[in-house]
Amino acid sequence: MENLKDTPLYDEHVRLGALMAPFGGWNMPIQYEGIIAEHKWCREKAALFDICHMGEFLYKGDIVGGGLEDVFTFSVKSIPVGRSRYGFLLNDEGGIIDDLIVFRLAEDEAMVVTNAATIDNDFAVIASRLSGRANFTDISAETAKLDLQGPLAREVMSRFFDPEPCNLPYFRSTKTTILGVEAIVSRTGYTGELGYEIFLPATRVKELWQLFLADERVKPAGLGARDVLRLEVGYSLYGSDIDEVTTPLEAGLEAFVNFDKEFVGKAALLHQQKAGLAKVKAAFRVGSRRSPRHHYEICTGDDTVGTVTSGVFSPMLGCGIGIGFVRPGSAPLGATLTIRHEKVNMEAEVVELPFYAGGSLRS
């Protein structure tokens, strides 16, 4: 029996009748009213997600002198204060240990936000690459995180908080005060909609959760809707679409790799560029409402050319959508595929990402 952790909002989820299930070592809400209803609410109004399971590390010290600059596939020193950057923590072979975001809080201070299942390993790996001339601490246990996402998110925020955090541009963040305590508000998210990620002390997150839900424009949403939302806009999920045996080049995420700087795994990626890729990511749209599933086979004719890593029914497109890895050259844009599993056969077409580009993300 898995020993699952509960977020500080566990009792709130139970009170709201949420379906709870394991995710990344945590007992998390999958849905409340229903995945489709929660997806629709996020696309049209404002949905509230409990993301307290994510990891947060705080770095204080010289960005270059302490070694943080060489840890990730992107430059930390060039992130302006109040901004953030997405990228990867790689192993020596170029595989993705984790995908994460670094927030530049001050000239000598940064916060690293990681996936839930990788917290302990990420911290150990990053710490091992630092010089010891900086203070690096895991603040995950005392830090809570709520995501308010949807086209009405700014209006909801403006009802409760000062204009500065409410009017942040995309991928900007600020230190502020919420409910009388220090907090960080960021204009980031995982849904393709206008939204905010709010970091605050775990002791106060229930109060903020209840404050938001008292607004009729806000409803809670679980990880089920979140998965549909993120796949519609083409975002990868760690553990499904990317992992330690997959490189950013194979995952089609080379835009988040800065080859003008040093980082662990760079040599392996440069070699892979020259030698060629063993697999490449393909996105496809199913010709029906059926959902492709993780590990389904991707075929062209009788030839199995790859495997599905993520798939859902897309309410915005009215059909099944998915992504997976295929043999290079086997699934060009517009090609017809067959998605198979036992007696299941689905016809699909290779398409470009994102599947859905009509969100309010940059509003």
**Residue 267 identity (one-letter amino acid):** A
Residue 82: CB atoms within 10 Å = 17
From CA 293, how far away is CA 322, in angstroms rounded?
Answer: 8
CB burial of 23-46 (b: ≥16 within 10 Å; e: otherwise) equals bbbbbbbbbbbebeebbbbbbebb
Percent of the chain with pLDDT over 70: 99
**341: nearest Cα among 306, 293, 302:** 293
pLDDT attached to residue 132: 78
Q: Is the dihedral of CA 225, 230, 231, 236 positive or negative?
A: negative
The DSSP bridge partners found for residue 21 are: 28
In angstroms, how far is the first alpha carbon of the chain from the final one? 44
Q: What length does the chain have? A: 363
Count Cβ atoms below 10 Å from residue 80 Cβ, excluding itself.
10
In a 13 Å sphere around the CA of 291, the CA atoms on its Cβ side amount to: 13
d(CA 265, CA 260): 13
CA distance 21 to 147: 19
pLDDT at position 133 is 83
Beta pairing, strands 319-326 & 46-50: unpaired
Q: What is the pTM of this model?
A: 0.97
What pLDDT, on the 0 to 100 scale, is given for residue 24?
92
Listed in sequence order, the residues at least 6 apart from 11 whose beta carbon sits closer than 8 Å to its beta carbon are none
Query: What would the two tokens of residue 68 be?
Result: 């943080």
**Pairwise CA distance, residues 311 & 292, whole Å:** 5
Average per-residue pLDDT in the chain?
97
Mean pLDDT, consecutive 10-residue stretches, the chain (363 aa), reads 89 98 96 98 98 98 96 98 98 98 98 98 98 93 98 97 95 96 97 98 98 98 98 98 98 98 98 97 97 97 97 98 98 98 96 97 90
Domains and CATH numbers, the chain: 5-54+141-232 (3.30.1360.120), 56-138 (3.30.70.1400), 279-351 (2.40.30.110)
pLDDT at 267 (0 to 100): 98
* Contact predicate 59/66, CB 8 Å: yes
